[in-house]
Amino acid sequence: MEALELLDLIQLGESSITQFKERLPHQDSLAQEMVAFSNTEGGRIIIGVNDKTADLNGLSFQEIQATNLQLVNVASQLVFPPIFIKTETVSVNGQQLIVVDVKEGVSKPYKDRNGSIFKKNGSDKRKVTSNDEIARLLQSGKLMYADETQVHGTSLADIDLDIFKTFILNKYGKPFEDLGIDLQKALENLNLMQGGILTLAGLLLFCGHRQQYRPQFTIQCVAVNDNIITGNSFEDSEAPIDGTISQIYEKAIGFIDRNMRKMQIGSSFNSPSKWEIPYEVFEEILVNALIHRDYFIQSTIKIFIYSDRIEIHSPGKLPNSLTLDNIRNGISIARNPILLSVAQFILPYKGLGTGITRAISLHPSIEFSNDVVGEQFRVIIKHIS
């Protein structure tokens, strides 16, 4: 890092990705800082800067040697699992500063030697105690997936057998009865049931009364005659949609259909009409929302139809290191691998990360927002002017 670049960074003050230390704190406190960065978005610790005044207080040669040794020891022995850090000594106005880069980890959750988990909270850190938040960290570390968790209270009786048999026919090209296997074994082989209890994937895919167990995993729809939601602008709304994931999809598409602007294809009075925005755009984005949303977050997918745009809000920020540019270029990460594996036989899902790129090719006026703090991913589809 160049001296001027570092000086500019220091003048901006501490943030969720930048921390100042005049000298290294106690090793347990340092470990907690590293844990917090590793569990969040990564960041850097700049040593030799007063965290109250941002004044420089550079390190001597001996301090630089001792500090680097301590940094490596903490990262390898007091952070679990151990992390790799990068250190660099930069001379700024004759003062020797150490810049420590801590990457966002891929084996979350990271813990200190007491087993405590920390995340960044602005320029500070906070201890993580919520089971849901710990589960999301496990998910991002690929140690747990929401769709494989058991839904206690469920059983074989909750499976819609007709829908399951249709899926089997689509997947294997033969009736379920010809497979020579009982229902529970078939579900367990597909990770849709464990020990006689449905997994979340099994519930969402094949339980028509899913709302009895997970009422929040649905879609809410609102249409307003304005570009904001106001008390008197409502034109249409839908109660949270019930049913299997395929039934929810069809009902949501129906809501969009009855509120979508239509265009005549031909010039005659009886010419058929088509959606102003191609149907396939919503097919791709809705299916992606249902498959890739964060099911550790107890919230609904939301569809807002405004006079100038349509917004689809999905619970959960983009997983791990995935960025908006990544998804525009067709790169995806499987957040719910069981749903992903079954969806192509139930929903109009192409897979291969092509959904977003196909939607953009059909209607370029699409914007994306990855709200990291609010844990929400938004797709904004603008009407044709």
Average pLDDT over residues 293-309: 92
Are residues 170 and 117 part of one domain?
no
The pLDDT > 70 percentage for the chain reads 95
Are residues 361 and 223 part of one domain?
yes
More confident residue, 337 or 334: 337
Contact 295, 339 (CB under 8 A): no
Are residues 59 and 162 part of one domain?
no
Are residues 295 and 153 part of one domain?
yes
More confident residue, 30 or 123: 30
Work out the pLDDT band at 353, boundaries 50, 70, 90.
low
> What was the pLDDT predicted at 83?
93
Q: What is the CATH number of the domain that holds 71?
A: 3.30.950.30
Give the chain's domain count: 2
Average pLDDT over residues 361-383: 91
Please tell me the least confidently modeled range out of 158-167, 250-259, 263-272: 263-272
Are residues 198 and 165 part of one domain?
yes
Specify if 138 maps to a domain. Answer: no
The contacts of residue 269 (CB under 8 Å, 6+ apart) are none
Work out the pLDDT band at 271, boundaries 50, 70, 90.
low
Please say if the pLDDT value at position 240 is more than 90.
no
Q: How many angstroms from the chain centroid is the CA of residue 33?
A: 24
Work out the pLDDT band at 266, boundaries 50, 70, 90.
low
Specify if 139 maps to a domain. Answer: no
Specify if 134 maps to a domain. Answer: no
Specify if 135 maps to a domain. Answer: no
Are residues 119 and 157 part of one domain?
no
Cα torsion through 312, 338, 320, 354, rounded to 10: -60
Average pLDDT over residues 117-123: 90
> What was the pLDDT predicted at 373?
79
Please say if the pLDDT value at position 230 is more than 80.
no
Specify whether the backbone of 123 is left (phi greater than 0), alpha (psi in -120 to 50) or beta. Answer: alpha
Within 10 Å of residue 107's Cβ, how many Cβ atoms? 14
> What was the pLDDT predicted at 60?
94
Q: What digits encode the pLDDT tens for the residues 129-156?
A: 888 788 878 777 766 788 999 999 999 9
Are residues 159 and 91 part of one domain?
no
> What was the pLDDT predicted at 350?
67
Q: What digits encode the pLDDT tens for the residues 16-74?
A: 999 999 999 999 999 999 999 999 889 999 999 999 999 999 999 999 999 999 999 99
> What was the pLDDT predicted at 231?
66
- Which residue range is the domain that position 112 belongs to? 3-129
> How far is it, in rounded angstroms, from Cα 382 to Cα 207?
34
Within 10 Å of residue 182's Cβ, how many Cβ atoms? 10
The residue among 99, 129, 159 that closes a domain is: 129
Please say if the pLDDT value at position 270 is more than 70.
no
Contact 356, 281 (CB under 8 A): no
Return mean pLDDT, the chain. 89
Are residues 178 and 118 part of one domain?
no
Are residues 373 and 350 part of one domain?
yes
Work out the pLDDT band at 242, boundaries 50, 70, 90.
confident
Contact 303, 229 (CB under 8 A): no
Please tell me the least confidently modeled range out of 78-87, 96-105, 223-232, 368-377: 223-232
Average pLDDT over residues 180-185: 92
The pLDDT > 90 percentage for the chain reads 64
Please tell me the least confidently modeled range out of 28-32, 104-108, 288-292: 104-108
Specify if 316 maps to a domain. Answer: yes
> What was the pLDDT predicted at 351?
60
Are residues 162 and 279 part of one domain?
yes
Are residues 160 and 286 part of one domain?
yes
Are residues 151 and 112 part of one domain?
no
> What was the pLDDT predicted at 234?
78
The residue among 74, 97, 129 that closes a domain is: 129
Q: What is the CATH number of the domain that holds 358?
A: 3.30.565.60
